[in-house]
Amino acid sequence: MCAQMYYRGKMFGFVHLYNGQEAVSTGFIKLLKKEDYVVSTYRDHVHALSKGVPARAVMSELFGKTTGCCRGQGGSMHMFSKEHNVLGGFAFIGEGIPVATGAAFTSKYKRRSRDWKKGPAFGMPGVHVDGMDVLKVREVAKEAIGRARMGGGPTLVECETYRFRGHSLADPDELRDPAEKAHYAARDPITFLKKYIIENELASEAELKAIEKKKMVLRMLLNLQMRVLFHLAASYLKMSLQIQKALELDLMGGIDARTPNSPRALLMSRFVRVGDIH
Q: What is the pLDDT along the chain (278 residues), one digit of tens a residue?
A: 777 777 777 777 778 888 888 888 888 888 888 888 888 888 888 889 889 898 888 888 888 888 888 888 887 888 888 889 888 888 887 888 888 888 888 777 665 444 434 433 457 888 888 999 999 999 999 999 899 888 888 888 888 888 888 888 778 888 888 999 999 999 999 899 999 999 998 988 888 888 888 888 777 777 777 777 777 777 777 767 766 666 666 555 555 545 555 555 555 555 544 444 44
Q: Kindly give, in sequence order, each residue whose CB lies less than 8 Å from that of residue 11, ignoring residues fewer than 6 positions away.
A: 2, 5, 62, 63, 64, 75, 76
pTM, rounded to two decimals: 0.49
Q: What is the biggest distance separating any 2 CA atoms in the chain, rounded to whole angstroms? A: 85
With b for 16 or more beta-carbon neighbours within 10 A and e for fewer, the 36-68 pattern comes to: bbbbbbbbbbbbbbbbbbeeebbbbbbbbeeeb
Domain 2-202, what architecture? 3-Layer(aba) Sandwich (3.40)
Q: What is the pLDDT of residue 274?
A: 43
CA distance 126 to 5: 39
Q: Which residues contact 12 (CB under 8 A, 6 or more apart)?
A: 64, 75
Residues carrying CATH 3.40.50.970, the chain: 2-202
pLDDT of residue 140: 92
